[in-house]
Amino acid sequence: MMKYPLTALSLALNVVIALLPFYWWSYGIDGLIVIKDSPFQLYMNLLGQDLTIVEIVNLFLFAFRFYVITVSSIYLIYLYKGVRKTYGTVYYLSYLYVLDPVILYLAFNYVLPFLGYSTSYPFFIIGKERMELSYSNAQISATVFSYPTLAYWFSLASGIIYLASRVLKR
Amino acid sequence: MDLGKGLGLLAFVAIVIINFYFLNVSQIFNQGVYQITNLRNSLKNPEFNFHFSENDVTVCVKNPNNFTITVYNMTGNYMYLPKSVVVYPHTEENISPVVTDYQAFANEVSSGDYNVSIEMSFLGLNVTFHEVI
């Protein structure tokens, strides 16, 4: 195990991250819609109401926690016996989160115009921005926000350790 | 597939089965779908009805939603709103915009192409409507 400290640390952090009950990112449009999520849980609030259908998704995401914990734990046991196996799912997930704002940007600027809305959605990853939307005879101006939580930075840091363990073969 | 991923998948399936066994998933699903269909109906356009009398105009604003609407301004030729009006959920409010020249205003309205823009705010959104009365 001491031969591969980075791999051991990365696997152990996977277990810790899968156990943490925090959301990774929160984003939304004013009071219209608020979304908080992590790969292990999801929360949605639409027009001031918590959506209960999300609980169905959460059943599977909860089980996914145990998948990550089991795989990481068993790889740690392998490592203890001298066989090095790396597990990159948490790494990929933490990096894919940066893609979310890109997907939103494309959806607002290229998909909504097809549905008759004209929008000007600014491209940004973290922070809050003003957004304009117009549909038939109405113009809507709203604040869009997107913030990562401390748990997200922790996951991203764990992703970097994973990457280092792969590159350095440690 | 190696042992780790095999056992991981087994743990995943086991937890899903336990969840489905102990929770009334179909009820959660039905409630969720019911809530979404209700939400879709719950966002209604507020109604603006213009009433004209001898020498002034009253606008009856009907808010059929579960949230408060604030009407900031209502502007058109010869017309403006001196102060914003709050319309609480499921209530009506009569608004009296100020008309500066009623004769000219009445002429434009009767010709049927009077443009009014209504600025309002709800759920943190700022919405501007353009209407022809």
User: What ipTM goes with this model?
Assistant: 0.79
Shortest distance, CA A36 to any CA of chain B (angstroms)? 18
Closest to B76 measured CA to CA, from B6, B15, B130: B130
Q: Decide if pLDDT at A137 tops 60.
A: yes
Flag if A55 and B28 touch (Cβ within 8 Å). yes
The answer, for A142 touching chain B at a CB cutoff of 8 Å, is yes
Select from A56, A62, A141 the Cβ nearest to the Cβ of B126.
A141
Q: What is the dihedral of CA A135, A103, A49, B71, to 10 degrees?
A: -30
Burial (0-12, 13-18, 19+ Cβ within 10 Å), A125: middle
Instruction: In whole angstroms, give the CA distance from residue B40 to residue A152.
Output: 32
Name chain A contacts of B123, Cβ cutoff 8 Å: 30-32, 47-48
Confidence at residue B1, expressed as pLDDT on a 0 to 100 scale: 65
CB B8 to CB A141 under 8 A?
A: no
pLDDT at residue A169 is higher than 90: no
What pLDDT, in 10s, does the model give residues B17-44? Answer: 999 999 888 899 999 999 888 877 777 7
Per-domain residue ranges of chain B: 3-42, 47-132
Distance from CA of A14 to the nearest CA of B (A): 13
Give backbone dihedrals phi and psi of B36, rounded to 5 degrees, phi first: -70, -40
Rounded average pLDDT over B119-126: 88
Q: Taking residues A76-86, report their average pLDDT.
A: 87
pLDDT at B82 over 60: yes
| Tokens linked to A130 | 């003003």
Q: Which residues pair with A18 in a beta bridge?
A: none
Helices (H), chain A: 5-19, 54-80, 89-96, 99-106, 150-168
What local confidence, expressed as pLDDT, does residue A83 receive?
A: 83
Inform me whether the pLDDT recorded for A79 exceeds 70.
yes
Domain of A37, in residue numbers: 5-168
* Partners of B92 in the β-ladder: B62
Interface contact A71-B7, CB threshold 8 A = yes
How many structural domains does chain A have? Answer: 1
Is the Cβ pair A66, B32 closer than 8 Å? no
Answer whether CATH 1.10.357 is correct for domain B47-132.
Answer: no
Contact B125 A78 (CB under 8 A): no
pLDDT given at position B71: 92
Question: Which residues partner with B91 through β-bridges?
Answer: B63
pLDDT tens digits, one per residue of A8-54: 999 999 999 999 999 999 988 888 889 999 999 999 988 878 899 99
